[in-house]
């Protein structure tokens, strides 16, 4: 197993590194991510080299790493073929949630929720959301694998991974981590760009299932700061939080902002300068976190960038970060001090335009040894497994959100 992340000042520097790896790991399975901040002709050449130097390759186009947007980034994981199962998924997901809308049945058009719209009697919201996604078959390459053999599943996906993530519950002992591939409509003409060997896909997912030992999983939220004391979800529906501590959630958020030390110029708005999130807590630490898309001060509800809000009774806390803050990549990934292989998927701030890597110096700027690090504006989807039981898949697009998997060497 070999992991590395390369930051290059030009395509030539990266091509040289690819050539060296191809001589050492030609018989391995290659998992890769590549940032597309180069000229289209250079991007085509890099993709051709990446997809042909190993018998099996799985990859995607990803975002430049935070703080290094002027550098071309490419991550490599060379995996022994006897220890992994590459796969391609075309399992359908569902449409993105809309603010304050309930559209799980996908009728002619969404409509505002009213009391008459809601099902009567006792029901579970999770069952409503997942009713069309629970009977999916596994991708063909995984159908003959034994759940007991698989410790970790890694994949790159479009914006609708729910069908695949629900199918992967058949591997309860495996930790699953997916990266939402970065949008590429103005780069390749595709919504996203995935690679499987010499095939290019614009939807679905590609990935690898790895045999044991299972990776150790960790999630961090870099640069996020708590805004107020913890609270309890007392009412939620769909992706809406309706009450916190039986109070108006939006008013609680606004009170937290007023009581904090956040400073804005009079001409600036909160939306333009800060991002706010809601996290579930495990002990005193954030366990899951998702963006707050909007709030209604009069009705009180806040809408989360998530398929569902935390359940009633969950302890939660508001967090925030200035949009000007660039999440710093932890030193444990750039200069690892322990003998580990680490794979990390990071949620990056949205960028209007990438800066092309085209420096006169054709050398490599940085190499993160034993680390595979990929970023995306769409963030990641995670399902950690402990003692043979996996958590419900959840996604995070909070800039600075970082999910890592580590294996001891």
Q: Which of 85-99, 207-221, 257-271 has the lowest mean pLDDT?
A: 257-271
> Considering only CA atoms, which of 357, 292, 321, 273 is closest in space to residue 65?
357
pLDDT higher than threshold 70 for residue 108: no
pLDDT at 4: 95
pLDDT higher than threshold 90 for residue 120: no
What long-range pairs does 255-262 form, CB within 8 A, spacing at least 24?
255/228, 256/227, 256/228, 256/318, 257/227, 257/320, 259/228, 260/227, 260/228, 260/320, 262/320, 262/322
Q: Are 66 and 223 in contact (CB under 8 A)?
A: no
Q: Using 50, 70 and 90 to split pLDDT, how confident is the model at 270?
A: low
Rounded mean pLDDT of 210-223? 94
For 340, the 3-state DSSP assignment is: strand
pLDDT higher than threshold 90 for residue 95: no
* Extents of the domains making up the chain: 2-91+136-221+327-408, 227-322
pLDDT higher for 293 or 299? 293
pLDDT higher for 357 or 251? 251
pLDDT higher than threshold 80 for residue 363: no
pLDDT at 99: 42
| Beta strand extents in 212-335 (DSSP E only) | 216-221, 225-226, 231-237, 240-244, 274-282, 285-295, 302-304, 315-322
Distance CA 131, CA 15 (A): 47
Give the CA distances from residue 268 to residues 66, 188, 264, 273, 274, in Å, rounded to whole numbers and listed in that order.
24, 35, 6, 7, 10
């Amino acid at each position: 197993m070999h992991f590395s992340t390369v930051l290059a000042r030009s395509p030539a520097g990266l091509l040289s590194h690819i050539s060296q790896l191809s001589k050492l790991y030609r018989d391995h399975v290659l998992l890769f991510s590549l940032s597309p901040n180069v000229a289209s002709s250079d991007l085509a050449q890099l993709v051709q080299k990446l997809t042909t130097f190993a018998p099996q390759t799985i990859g995607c186009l990803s975002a430049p790493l935070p703080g290094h947007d002027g550098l071309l980034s490419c991550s490599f994981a060379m995996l022994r073929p006897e220890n992994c199962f590459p796969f391609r998924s075309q399992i359908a997901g569902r449409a993105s949630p809309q603010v304050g809308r309930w559209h799980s049945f996908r009728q002619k058009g969404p409509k505002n929720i009213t009391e008459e719209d809601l099902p009567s009697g006792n029901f579970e919201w999770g069952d409503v959301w997942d009713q069309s996604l629970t009977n999916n078959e596994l991708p063909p390459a995984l159908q003959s694998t034994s759940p007991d053999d698989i410790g970790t599943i890694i994949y790159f996906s479009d914006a609708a991974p729910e069908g695949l993530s629900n199918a992967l519950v058949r591997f309860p002992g495996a930790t699953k981590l997916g990266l939402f591939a970065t949008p590429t409509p103005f780069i390749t003409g595709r919504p996203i760009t995935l690679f499987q060997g010499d095939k290019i896909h614009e939807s679905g997912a590609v990935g690898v299932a790895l045999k044991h030992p299972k990776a150790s999983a960790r999630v961090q939220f870099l640069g996020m700061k708590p805004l107020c004391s913890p609270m309890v979800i007392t009412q939620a529906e769909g992706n809406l939080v309706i009450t916190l501590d039986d109070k108006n959630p939006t008013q609680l958020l606004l009170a937290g902002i007023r009581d904090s030390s956040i400073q804005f110029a009079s001409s600036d708005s909160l939306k333009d300068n800060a991002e706010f999130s809601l996290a579930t807590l495990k002990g005193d630490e954030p366990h899951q976190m998702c963006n707050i898309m909007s709030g209604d001060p009069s009705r009180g509800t806040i809408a989360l960038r998530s398929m569902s809000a935390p359940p009633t009774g969950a302890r939660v806390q508001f967090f925030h970060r200035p949009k000007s803050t660039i999440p710093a990549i932890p030193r444990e990934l750039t200069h690892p001090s322990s003998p580990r292989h680490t794979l990390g998927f990071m949620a990056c701030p949205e960028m209007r335009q990438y800066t092309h890597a085209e420096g006169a110096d054709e050398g490599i700027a940085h190499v993160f040894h034993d680390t595979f690090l990929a970023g995306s504006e769409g963030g990641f989807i995670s399902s950690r497994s402990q003692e043979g039981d996996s958590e419900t898949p959840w996604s995070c697009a909070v800039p600075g959100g970082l999910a890592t998997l580590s294996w001891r060497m």
